[in-house]
Amino acid sequence: MTQIRQQDFIDSIEDALQFISYYHPLDYVKAVEQAYEKEQSQAAKDAMAQILINSRMSAEGKRPLCQDTGIVTCFVKIGMQVSWDKTDMTVQQMVDEGTRRAYLNPDNPLRASIVADPAGARKNTKDNTPAVVHIDMVPGDKIEVMIAAKGGGSENKSKMVMLNPSDDIAEWVVKTLPTMGAGWCPPGMLGIGIGGTAEKAAVLAKESLMDPVDIQELMARGAETTEEKLRLDIFKKVNDLGIGAQGLGGLTTVVDVKIKSLPTHAASKPVAMIPNCAATRHAHFTLDGSGPSELKAPKLEDWPKVTWEVGENTRRVNLDTVTKEDILDWKVGETVLLSGKMLTGRDAAHKRIQTMLDNGEGLPEGVDLTNRFIYYVGPVDAVGDEVVGPAGPTTATRMDKFTDMMLEKTGLIGMIGKAERGPATVDSIAKHKAVYLMAVGGAAYLVSKAIKKSRVVAFEELGMEAIYEFEVEDMPVTVAVDSTGANAHQTGPAIWKAKIEELEAELSR
């Protein structure tokens, strides 16, 4: 019998969550580096450069990779010969305690993103608890923990299907992936769970994302099992779609495809697919009774020395003087450096603005959106001399249902976020001669360095969802939808899908 101290378990959870908030797994960093080296699409290459630079800066500054510091998901495998020194807390309570301490750590506070009463009031629990905990009793005298902090943007794109036994899984993946848009911040990984029952397939998909990135090794040695063959098949077919980093079109959409499977009912073929994003965050540790786990910090030399310079013809924009006429000649795909003041707002702020306008109350005091840009963001709290904590873009698609109202009634001329806009929103942007700009999802710490001043202007009680005024200097963005309605998330992947077909045809000649 091995005795595990409750305190060691809680301390290890806390340490692991702090660790993964700023250290990418190196296998993911190496995989993105390889993808960056071979990328031919400039927009995708630029996005990956920012992801890699952000990754190194986070490791150096010990600050979160992404402003969305995730929902804690923990797989705990407890040996049958393990006992605890105290039994006054359940495993769920211990994981929650470790989560609470990690997210409220004063040196590196993480964003609390969990809301209770999800179908109703959606009130923030303030400490990112509860975690999602999966417990397995296994043979042995140790406890193995795999812990992840999963971003909402990628979790929201999870898909599930009950296929017919004769249906082709790769076909379903390839048909489904383009419907997921870019809100999952590719390049990332796909976790696929096959078999069991509906709920078990989803758990398998999530657990598969804890495996290391090793598809290049698999390609080199060749597939031996059904799952390995399927991994290679899906990997190729998905990358051939040309979706690319951030959905801008390019050679790499996924750096690996992981699969876990279990026997299932003869009438069923449950399949779940869960993507992991540019903020891939997970750690593994084992407790054997000798004390808390000690995760080994990677060395900064392990990060690639990638630099990113904006091109000479980059457009520089003063947000304090820009007008509706100025933005008419901004072209889709163009890089723009923003300086000056912008307002922020995401789901809750938009909903409140809509209610206030519907009630005839006008905009909240201090908020004037005439000729302004709004940045969809919910930043991490600042520490030390930071102006603001990591502050990358959130998925713009969620704000689609408010966009026509915002453009019609508030004087707003542009939006900044990540991922694609829906067709009706693109039409509305064109109708109002507005623009939608895209910042790189997953490069939140890097983006925060462009923010020179920050103050809350409305809805302070909403915390990270409040409306802030940011003053930025040279914040890099890409024109994703221009005032004519040209849309980078549509044209980019279409162009790169065709180019990949051409490249493959050349190779086979």
Q: Which is nearer to ligand SF4, 72 or 143 (CB)?
A: 72
Q: Which residues have CB under 8 Å from 318's CB, separation 6+?
A: 339, 340
CB of 75 to ligand SF4, least distance (A): 19
Please report how close the Cβ of residue 305 comes to ligand SF4 at its closest, in angstroms: 22
Measured from the CB atom, is 255 or 278 closer to ligand SF4? 278
Give per-residue burial for 9-29: e unless 16+ CB within 10 Å, then b.
bbbbbbbbbbbbbbbbbbebb
Q: Are 491 and 467 in contact (CB under 8 A)?
A: no
Question: Nearest distance from residue 438's CB to ligand SF4, in Å?
Answer: 12
Which residue's CB is nearer to ligand SF4, number 66 or number 451? 66
Q: Which is nearer to ligand SF4, 152 or 493 (CB)?
A: 152
Q: Are 485 and 422 in contact (CB under 8 A)?
A: no
Helix or strand holding residue 455 (H, E):
strand 451-458
Least distance (Å) between residue 258 CB and ligand SF4:
17
From CA 463, how far away is CA 81, in angstroms rounded? 45
Q: Which is nearer to ligand SF4, 249 or 441 (CB)?
A: 441
Residue 173's CB: how many other CB atoms inside 10 A? 21
> Which of 338, 420, 345, 414 is CA-nearest to residue 379?
345
Helix (H, G, I), strand (E, B) or coil at 452: strand
SS3 for 51-66 is HHHHHHHHHHHCCCCC
Number of C-beta neighbours around residue 163 at 10 A: 15
- Please report, as ranges, the residues that interact with ligand SF4 according to CB under 6 A: 66, 68, 151-154, 184-185, 277-279, 392, 441-442
User: Residues 58, 59, 62, 68: what is their CA dihedral angle, to the nearest 10 degrees?
Assistant: 40
Euclidean distance between CA atoms 218 and 228, whole angstroms: 8
C-alpha span between 21 and 2 (Å, rounded): 30
Measured from the CB of residue 328, what is the shortest distance to ligand SF4 in angstroms? 30
Interatomic CA distance for residues 452 and 249, integer angstroms? 32
The values of phi and psi at residue 335, to 5°, are -90, 135
| In the complex, minimum distance from the CB of residue 161 to ligand SF4, in angstroms, rounded to a whole number | 22
Round to whole Å and give the CA distance between 274 and 280: 12
- Among residues 372 and 418, whose Cβ is nearest to ligand SF4? 418
* Closer of 57 and 170 to ligand SF4 (Cβ): 57
- Contact between 202 and 274 (Cβ < 8 Å): yes
Angstrom CA distances, 322 to 296, 437, 471, 475, 481, stand at 49, 14, 14, 15, 17
Q: How far is the CB of 419 from ligand SF4 (least distance, A)?
A: 8
**Least separation in angstroms between CB 187 and ligand SF4:** 11
Indicate the residue whose CB is closest to ligand SF4.
151
Q: How far is the CB of 278 from ligand SF4 (least distance, A)?
A: 4
Q: From CA 178, how far away is CA 437, in angstroms rounded?
A: 21
CB of 464 to ligand SF4, least distance (A): 13
**In this complex, which beta carbon is closest to ligand SF4, that of residue 196 or of residue 441?**
441
Shortest Cβ 66–ligand SF4 spacing (Å) = 3
Q: How far is the CB of 279 from ligand SF4 (least distance, A)?
A: 4
Q: How far apart are CA 270 and CA 47, in angstroms?
A: 34
How many angstroms separate the Cα of 166 from the Cα of each of 181, 200, 268, 327? 27, 20, 10, 52
CB-nearer residue toward ligand SF4: 68 or 97: 68
Residue number, 41 or 394, with CB nearest to ligand SF4: 394
Residue type, position 502, single letter: E
Task: Select 205 or 279, whichever has its Cβ closest to ligand SF4.
Answer: 279
Considering the complex, state which of residue 66 and residue 259 has its C-beta at the smaller distance from ligand SF4.
66
Strand 373-375 to 435-438 pairing: unpaired
Minimal distance, residue 142 CB to ligand SF4, in Å: 31
Q: Give the residue with the Cβ less far from ligand SF4, 111 or 350.
A: 111
Rounded Cα distance between 240 and 503, Å, is: 10
